Structure 1
Amino acid sequence: MDLTLIVVLVIGLALFFDFTNGFHDTANAMATPIATGAIKPKAAVALAAVLNLVGAFLSTEVAKTISGGLIREGDGGIAITPEMIYAGLMGAVLWNMVTWLLGLPSSSSHALFGGLIGAAIVGAGFGAVSYAVLLSKVILPALLAPLIVGVSAFVCTRLAYRITKRQAGTSPKRGGFRVGQIFSSSLVALSHGTNDAQKTMGVITLTLIASGAQAAGTGPQFWVVVACALAIALGTYAGGWRIIRTMGAGLTEVKPAQGFAAEVSTGVAILASSHLGFALSTTQVASGSVIGSGLGRKGAHVRWGVAGRVGLGWLLTLPAAGAVGALAAFTAHLGAWGLALVTVVGIGALLFIWYLSRKDRVGHHNAVEVEDAAQAVDIPSKRERKLRRKRTEREAALASSRAGADTAPGAQQDHTTEGNR
């Protein structure tokens, strides 16, 4: 098969993975503010999409970790081919879709790493992987980040409730946390763009280097940054409502102060990891912070059965995506027909998963049962604002006419007569 065609196929599949990453990880930023009623579901995913788009332009350190660190490429290293990258991406995409169908907040990042590692080992041997980078910038952050951010969320939640503690029989005022959640969830969405969009940038850059279209050791080109930013933003806008249901209500019941603490902890951790070039799993960080905040709020209960399922998904992601990537790489190495077989089987599996998802639809209307939906901070459209203004004017005019009728002499006499009766 012509090299140019396989590069195009890899770039197309990479952008589709970026799209799945977007809707798979929308829950990381917006599940808790939706669950607490801080912001309405559709407005939440739209806000997250815009901030993911912006965040993708802020840094490229994580992209360089993938394109020039995890998988060795050329210049005296092991030559990785576009076919291997294509096979690895197929493993990542399929695992992302399976976990989305099950509503499991697994790591899109680890699915990508697992698929690439499995394909690289089959195609070029164990020496194709830089295990020092894998350990220092993937595995160790995966083990430590959820624990650290969970402790941070626990402490922040305790502080939030202590500061607003009920005093002298008066109810604590915690409504400000609901508004604050809009800003804290926005921080998570922005940080998600700085970290996760870069992973696809790194894969496309690795492909261009492997095909000889770009020099080894260089970072992502501008058009790659733009394409990946748009893909993850569109995926985020698609929603990912199944995982929002798990993150928003499945792990623990979330209240505004608790959600605010979890989101701030998540956002700060992800931004710091992006600056340091750590390819962190935003899903693991967000899940750890939600569990930590649940432990921090008195009276809250963490659903450990759901947490166990999520944890099992974390453990299986790297090896499962790696196994699929390895199988796909083995098939792709059989020649052009093998690559075609990988493509056909992959598309068939994706269509089957989509068919199964239609049997049990989850959307913005039934993803999370919001306790205080009426208090959600609304972001109306221009048309809605105009209609509301007219309705307010009509109500004011009606109230004014009623008040005038009540003060009329006849009305006062009727009230007096009624009172004498």
Structure 2
Amino acid sequence: MTFFLLVLLAALVFEYINGFHDTANSIATVVSTKVLTPRQAVLMAAVTNLAGALIVGTSVAKTIGAGLVDTSVISMPTVLCALLAAIVWNIFTWWLGLPSSSSHALIGGLCGAALASARGNWHVLHWSLHDAKTGVAVGLWPKVVAPMFISPFIGFTIAAIIMWLLYLFLRRVRPRFINVIFGKLQLASAAWMGFSHGSNDAQKTMGIVTLALFTGTQSGAFDGIPGWLGFLRTTDMEVHRWVIITCALTMAAGTAAGGWRIIKTMGHKMVKLQPIHGFAAETTAAIVIQTASHVGIPLSTTHVISTSIMGVGSVKRFSAVKWGLVGRIVWAWVLTLPVTGLLGYGLMRIALQLFGV
């Protein structure tokens, strides 16, 4: 039970950090275009993230909890080491002001810790399987690795196309009028982006907490608990309502704290944006993320909104995008999975050596 409380605390810390680390995903564009003040944007992001986390289903949470690694090798220390690895990476990249993926940090940590728990048996990682109930492909390749490469390309391309079409249809309209109209439209697109972010990112922690509850139930860790704590037990990886509410509120609180270092990188340093660009980027990212949430893909919202901003910026003028900065960001993306995997593996190996867990 003590281990579970540590896991729950670490999960909520991760969710809170995820909130302020990824606040930029929701509001960087609307702040940089001066449609909203930073305080107004953070408040809107917190509310819409909360709404997305509460309203949308739990497909992504189930993917994290049961679709990526063999649950038979998972213990409470495994889940704890996975969370600690993700927390360390998130804090490090936040300090550098780099918009890395909290999703991939958690997945990398989980895979590394699971591999250490299985004493290096790579078969515990589900690379590609078919769900017997739905017939849909699950596992690391279809749900994580392939989307990691495909979603940035889709975000960049769709955003560039939308931006090009807007330029085409509005080329004779006065810039001042365009700024007024899209300043208002961007309120809706930013809200939708915040909702989409909450619908996908909050579910990842829901999944990891559910995995811990399932592990505790299977291992007998909850056998001696009082009857009023029976809500902790789960035998079917179903995401409990209290888990959804707790994770949603924690992410909203983290979002409200703001992540100004990353907001400055995405909203001001990467490319100079106007309301029409912000609208195109946010709309694109929201469409892609919402689709991923519906089919249970734990997508990197950071990758999608970042490449959407790059897409609209490249249409504006290819040199408008600070490609040197983009290179640093891409390196952070590439390193996230292997670094957190190694961190999770190393932490779990230390736990095995010290405690024999």
TM-score of the two chains, using structure 1 as the length reference = 0.76
Look up the match of 2:135: none
Do residues 197 (structure 1) and 202 (structure 2) align?
yes
Does the aligned pair in 2 maintain the 1:150–1:290 contact within 8 Å? yes
Change in 2 beyond 3 A, CA 1:35/1:329: same
Counterpart position of 1:157? 163
Q: 2:262 maps to which residue?
A: 243
Q: Distance in 2 between matches of 1:193 and 1:219?
A: 19
Q: Establish whether residue 80 from structure 1 lines up as the match of residue 70 from structure 2.
A: no
Letter of the 1:211 counterpart: G
Hey, what does 1:406 align to over in structure 2? none
Q: Map of 1:6-405 to 2, 5 A cutoff?
A: 6-57=3-54, 58-73=56-71, 78-124=72-118, 125-132=121-128, 133-166=139-172, 173-174=177-178, 175-212=180-217, 214-298=233-317, 301-336=320-355
How far residue 217 of structure 1 moved from its aligned partner, in angstroms, is 3.4
Q: Could you tell me how far 1:79 is from its partner in structure 2?
A: 2.7
List structure 1 segments (4+ residues) > 6 angstroms apart after TM superposition: none
Deviations 1:327-359 (A, max 9, x none): 1101111344x89xxxxxxxxxxxxxxxxxxxx
Q: Deviations over 1:88-112 (max 9, x none)?
A: 1110000000000000000000000
Helix, strand or coil for the counterpart of 1:71? coil
Residue by residue, what CA displacement relative to the aligned partner does 1:198-235 show, whole Å, maximum 9, x if unpaired? 00000000011111154443321111001100110011
* Larger radius of gyration between Structure 1 and Structure 2: 1
Aligned equivalents of 1:105 and 1:217: distance in 2? 35
Identity %: 42
Q: Which amino acid aligns with 1:173?
A: F
Cα deviations by residue, 1:362-420 (Å, 9 ceiling, x for unpaired): xxxxxxxxxxxxxxxxxxxxxxxxxxxxxxxxxxxxxxxxxxxxxxxxxxxxxxxxxxx
**What is the CA deviation profile of residues 35-65 of structure 1, one whole-angstrom value per residue up to 9, with x for unaligned ones?**
0101010010111001111111121100000
* Matched positions, count: 329
Asked if the contact 1:79–1:210 (Cα under 8 Å) also holds between the matched residues in 2, the reply is no
Kindly provide the CA deviation profile for residues 238-271 of structure 1, in whole angstroms up to 9, marking residues without a partner as x: 1000000010012111111111000000001100
User: Is the 1:161–1:257 contact (alpha carbons within 8 Å) kept by the matching residues of 2?
Assistant: no
Once the two structures are TM-superposed, the CA of residue 171 in structure 1 deviates from its matched residue by 5.1
Contact 2:6 2:80 survives alignment (8 Å): yes
How far apart are 1:298 and its partner, in Å? Answer: 4.2
- What SS class does the counterpart of residue 173 from structure 1 fall into? helix
- Contact 1:178/1:256 (<8 A) preserved: yes
Q: CA deviation at 1:166?
A: 2.8
Measured in 1, the distance between the counterparts of 2:69 and 2:262 equals 30
Secondary structure, counterpart of 2:238 in structure 1:
coil
Unaligned 5+ runs, structure 1? 340-421
- Whole-angstrom distance in 2 between the partners of 1:301 and 1:35: 15
**Equivalents in 1 of 2:159, 2:194: separation in Å?**
17
Distance 1:47 1:300, change over 3 A: farther
Tell me which residue corresponds to 1:389.
none
1:72 shift after superposition: 1.7
Following superposition, the deviation at residue 158 of structure 1 comes to 1.3
Q: Which has the higher contact order (CA 8 A, sep 6+)?
A: 2
CA distance in 1, matches of 2:25, 2:279: 13
